[in-house]
Chains A and B, each alone.
Chain A
């Protein structure tokens, strides 16, 4: 709607914000939960190839609510976020539209996208065990083992209410059922070395300091730490640990979550938005993700970065992402009920 855009332009100008790029032709507006720094290399490559400018609005809490309340006037074209629950929540809130696109469907295998085309996984991140190189001799571990008393006082983790842990617990609920999972979570709590806090990276720091022997964390942080040329401390943390790939069952795989994208329901620049999603699923973008962010590409056959390959072979759990998302509320309530975030003592 031309008039709409003109009026918006006037409104922006009136408010003192020359936000013209958003309204010119040849733009795509991205609302993202992902940090701009992380997606910038990929978006820059997109602009270079297509000439379409990107505008990024980063917000983590309330992204879905904001788009929903903006309604038809929302400037959002593409929504980018991490964690499967947030992608499905966007779909449930009705702020996405289905996209059936041959290019995208060819690039992303079916288990990493919504059957109806409301969201697409772009990278995989495995939730693994960081194990002290000095003090842990085991080379294999199961998730169930985290509740084994032999680890008493030796495990560190971030808040159980964090997206990454909630998705892991949701997967556990699906595999083991709620009762067994709750028993397991109590065991995990009893094994904690201290109260859960901080991000995944400080857990590696705690291992390096000798506060704990193992921790739960995502793979790409290890890549980021080991390749950090700015901080010797980061390198030291990254190199103090081994990455172990735990499984739920003897023969199963490691819990994997995704970061992904969705086409906004009222996308004003829909054509460009589709081009962006196609690009993000394509070879070049997938390679950038793999090399710069140390994430696993969703593109079948594309190798992860050399740092990530050193971790060993990732065998992903076959549980569907949609199933994981369904258990999120139950998992969050379980964390409260067990008092996981209170730490080992109480």
Chain B
């Protein structure tokens, strides 16, 4: 009903798929399970933690969190939008390479980036060593150097690895709409900077907000990077209330505050989508060849420098730091544990990606068919798993799953004399379910924006030619959605490879991913010992990221 195209679709579809709606509601329900479970835990709390929380914890944690969010939002927006604009609108040396290299930092988990930044900018790291050598300083007391271990430092780390979300969403819009609008403005005599500020920025605003919303949800759920850098966010408060003061209820209550923040973000994102019209009814318009504005000499190299710097920060520094450590531990690459962890990671991530994207397709299609506010709200609600801290989501899920398993076990014992044990919670299914719940929002967002980009009358045409909604969806929409589906698959795959805190809590015996392997090594206080595995994570996630860039190129052609 909030959909701007709603009135243009045949109302008859509403009644067609009761089973589809049931499945969609079921999916949304499952996704909400850990949240409901947490809320239940929170409700059993007495509230005795609150005087302490309100007086000593929440003001600081809220300020820190909001400050971090604000800095990361501005940082990723600036880095993402400027780099997207440069690679789309201009031609400069290595532009084609940069257009996919800009996505690479997505392959780096924030907790690894935090460690790499801390090492890189540490007193004994290359940067400060260079500073001392150049200026002849003897000790740290002779000069001032900004500390990565601060809220600003954490914002820099998170910005460096998360800006690709903004880059991706913005670039698509710029490719699809920006240039021809920009061309009109330019033919009217506007200079590129003015075109950018006055024409392109407003047009891309919804895409920027959608990208930033993803970034902020990742920022909220992060615990590894901020904890390592000594930044006390609300998520840190959840853990310290739960673990250090022994109050799971209090921790769950703080987690609910985080959820409120997330709802605000989701509403912002949804509001931005209302104004977002990616699709273009006359495809030929964009098909026209648009020459990029060539940048020569100093300006060209400046453009390269500007696009290169976020890649060097978010990808170069981690690669440098872990590469250096790993080079001294070549034998680590040959350990059977690393091989097993690699296979487990790839298999788990692949299964999770396929499952998550399938569920997202069902949900998105249900919203499209049902066009009811209730359904839309339900699907929105199903996105909150993305912003819940992984460990908290994992805990909420394990409480539900074990209850289910033990209930089933008791029932089976009584009825059939057979014990089913920990059917779900004691197997890899728990990990896959956890990651699916966590990343459904990512897949759903990618699929939905792909669908939004298609002219609505495409499948209406198929319908008018007598195809059933299912047939029109599978024969007309699905092939056109292929780039969006590939994007969703890659995003979920990469995030599952990186996922740590939910996996570590939900996994069964003998189940180790690359991320848990690194963590096992790193949490002994010597992250260098996990360097080989860290490098393998980055490389494993890098391959599909490059694939994704290829998909984006095709995406552009497919939608033209």
Q: Interface on A for B, CB 8 Å cutoff?
A: 1, 3-5, 7-8, 11-12, 14-17, 19, 21-22, 29, 35-38, 55-62, 65-66, 69-75, 89, 159, 161, 163, 166, 194-201, 205-206, 208-211, 221, 224, 228, 230-231, 233-234, 328-329, 332-333, 336-337, 339, 341-342
- Inter-subunit contact A3/B418 (CB<8 Å): yes
Q: Is residue B523 contacting chain A, with contact meaning CB distance below 8 A? A: yes
Q: Which residue of B60, B122, B423, B528 is within 8 Å of A230 (Cβ)?
A: B528
- Provided the pairs A65-B248, A198-B228, A329-B246 are in contact, do residues A7 and B419 lie with their beta carbons within 8 angstroms? yes
Closest to A217 in B: B525
A209 to B139: give the CA distance in the assembly, Å: 7
Contact between A55 and B329 (Cβ–Cβ < 8 Å)? Answer: no
Q: How far is the CA of A59 from the CA of B398 in the complex (A)?
A: 13
Are A38 and B391 closer than 8 Å at their CB atoms? Answer: no
- State whether B420 touches A7 (Cβ < 8 A): yes
Quick check: which of B206-214, B313-321, B358-366, B506-514 contacts chain A, the rest being far away?
Answer: B506-514
Nearest A residue to B391 via CB reads A61
Flag the segment in B6-14, B171-179, B401-409 that touches A.
B401-409
- Given A15-B429, A61-B239, are A66 and B505 also a contact pair (CB < 8 Å)? yes
Partner of A7, one of B421, B524, B526: B421
A-B residue pairs, 9 tightest by C-beta: A197-B230, A15-B427, A209-B123, A4-B419, A8-B421, A336-B56, A69-B402, A332-B244, A210-B139
B328 and A73 contacting across the interface, CB-CB below 8 Å: no
B417 contacts the other chain (CB 8 A): yes
Cα distance A56–B525 when bound, in Å? 20
- Verify B150–A62 contact, CB threshold 8 A: no
Chain B residues with Cβ below 8 Å from A29 are 509
Cβ of B284 under 8 Å from chain A: no
Q: Please name all residues of chain B whose beta carbon is closer than 8 Å to the beta carbon of A337 when the two chains form the complex.
A: 52, 55-56
Using an 8 Å CB-CB cutoff, how does the interface string of B491-530 with A read, 1 for contact, 0 for none?
A: 0000000000100110111110000100011011110110
Q: Are A159 and B230 also in contact (CB < 8 A) when A8-B421, A17-B428 are?
A: yes
Query: Are B521 and A15 in contact, CB atoms less than 8 angstroms apart?
Result: no
| Shortest Cβ distance from residue B445 to the other chain A in the assembled complex, whole angstroms | 28
Q: Which residues of A contact B507 (CB under 8 A)?
A: 57, 59
**Considering only CB atoms, which chain A residue lies closest to B427 in the complex?**
A15
Within 8 A of A (CB), among B109-127: 118, 122-124
B52 CB contacts on chain A under 8 angstroms: 333, 336-337
A12 — which chain B residues lie within 8 A by C-beta?
426-427, 508
Q: Nearest Cβ in chain A — how far from B354, in angstroms? A: 14
Q: Is B307 an interface residue (CB 8 A)?
A: no
Given A19-B510, A21-B510, A200-B525, 6 more pairs with CB closer than 8 A: A1-B419, A35-B521, A37-B521, A70-B406, A208-B124, A209-B139
Q: Answer whether residue B438 sits at the interface, using C-beta atoms and an 8 A cutoff.
A: no
Compute how far the CA of A29 lies from the CA of B509 in the bound complex, rounded to whole angstroms.
Answer: 8
How many angstroms between the C-alpha atoms of A18 and B60 in the bound complex? 47
Across-interface contacts of B429 in A (CB, < 8 A): 15
Contacts of B223-274 to chain A: CB distance below 8 A: 228-230, 232, 239-240, 242-246, 248
| Contact yes or no, A62 B391, CB < 8 A | yes
Q: Does B2 reach chain A (CB closer than 8 Å)? A: no
Among A8, A22, A73, the residue within 8 A (CB) of B406 is: A73
Interface size class of B (residues with CB under 8 A): 35 or more
B394 at the A/B interface (Cβ < 8 Å)? Answer: yes
| In the assembled complex, B422 has its CB within 8 A of some CB on chain A | yes
Write out the residue numbers on chain B whose beta carbons fall within 8 Å of the beta carbon of A55.
509-510
B45 CB to nearest A CB, Å? 15
A190 and B487 CA atoms in complex are apart in Å by 51
**A82→B328 CA distance, assembly (Å):** 30
Q: Which residues of A contact B428 (CB under 8 A)?
A: 15-17
- CB closest residue in chain B, given A9: B421
Does B140 interact with chain A (Cβ within 8 Å)? yes
A14 surroundings in chain B (CB, below 8 A):
427
Decide if A60 touches B329 in the complex (CB within 8 Å).
no
Most buried by B among A5, A21, A161, A206: A161
CA distance A76 to B529 in the complex (A): 28
- B57 interface residue (CB < 8 Å to A): yes
Taken together as a complex, chains A and B put the C-alpha atoms of A71 and B509 apart, in Å, by: 17
Question: Is the Cβ of B228 less than 8 Å from the Cβ of A197?
Answer: yes
Specify the chain A residue showing the minimal Cβ separation from B244. A332
A201 contacts B427, C-beta separation under 8 Å: no
Taking CB atoms, residues of chain A closer than 8 Å to B524 are: 35, 37-38
B451 smallest CB distance to A (angstroms): 32
* B509 close to A4 (CB less than 8 A): no
Contacts of A199 in B (CB 8 A): 525
Set B232, B395, B419: member contacting A62, Cβ < 8 A: B395
The verdict on B3 contacting chain A, using a C-beta distance below 8 Å, is no
Contact, CB under 8 Å: A17 / B510: yes
State which of A15, A59, A210 has its C-beta within 8 Å of the C-beta of B141.
Answer: A210
Cα–Cα, bound, A3→B391 (Å)? 33
Q: Which A residue sits closest to B240, measured CB to CB?
A: A161
Is the CB–CB distance between A7 and B418 below 8 Å? yes
Q: Any chain A CB within 8 A of the CB of B557?
A: no
* Chain A residues, Cβ within 8 Å of B246: 89, 328-329
**In the complex, what residues of A have CB within 8 A of residue B230's CB?**
159, 195-198, 341
**Which residues does chain A contribute within 8 Å of B123, judged by CB atoms?**
205-206, 209-211
Task: Please give the distance in Å from B533's CB to the nearest CB on chain A.
Answer: 12
Asked if A17 and B511 sit within 8 Å, CB to CB, the answer is: yes
Which residues of the other chain, B, contact A56 by a CB distance below 8 angstroms? Answer: 509
Tell me the nearest residue of chain B to A334, going by C-beta: B56
Residues of A within 8 A of B83 (CB): none
Q: Which partner residue on chain B sits nearest A13 by CB separation? A: B427
Do B421 and A210 have beta carbons less than 8 Å apart?
A: no
Report the separation of the CA atoms of residues A35 and B428 in the bound assembly, to the nearest whole angstrom.
21
Q: Is the CB of B508 within 8 A of A195?
A: no
Residues of B within 8 A of A161 (CB): 240, 244
Is B453 an interface residue, CB under 8 A from the partner?
A: no
Chain A residues contacting B421 (CB-CB under 8 Å) are 4-5, 7-8, 11, 73
CB<8 Å pairs between A and B, sample of 13: A4-B421, A11-B426, A69-B398, A70-B425, A73-B406, A73-B421, A163-B244, A206-B123, A211-B140, A230-B528, A230-B529, A328-B244, A329-B244
Instruction: Flag B130-152 by CB within 8 Å of A: 1 or 0 each.
Output: 00000000011100000101100
- Cβ contacts under 8 Å, A37 to chain B: 520-521, 524, 529
Interface residues as binary, B384-399 with A (CB distance below 8 Å gives 1, 0 otherwise)? 0000000100110011
Query: Smallest CB–CB gap between A170 and chain B, Å?
Result: 11
Chain B minimum-CB-distance residue to A76: B509
In whole angstroms, how far apart are the Cα atoms of A339 and B124 in the complex? 29
Are A210 and B140 CB-contacts (below 8 A) given A21-B510, A65-B398? yes
Q: Which residues of chain B come closer than 8 Å to A328, judged between CB atoms?
A: 244-246
Q: How far is the CA of A109 from the CA of B405 in the complex (A)?
A: 41
For B150, what are the chain A residues with a Cβ–Cβ distance below 8 Å? 195
Within 8 A of A (CB), among B151-183: none
**A59 in contact with B504 (CB, 8 Å):** yes
- B528 & A231 in contact (Cβ 8 Å cutoff): yes
Most buried by A among B149, B229, B403, B412: B149
Q: How far is the CA of A19 from the CA of B510 in the complex (A)?
A: 7
Bound CA span A161–B251, Å: 15
- A57 neighbours in B (Cβ, 8 Å): 507-509
Which residues in A have their C-beta under 8 angstroms from that of B402?
66, 69-71, 73
- Are A61's CB and B147's CB within 8 A? no
- On whether the beta carbons of B398 and A62 are closer than 8 Å, the reply is yes
Residues of B within 8 A of A70 (CB): 402, 406, 422, 425-426
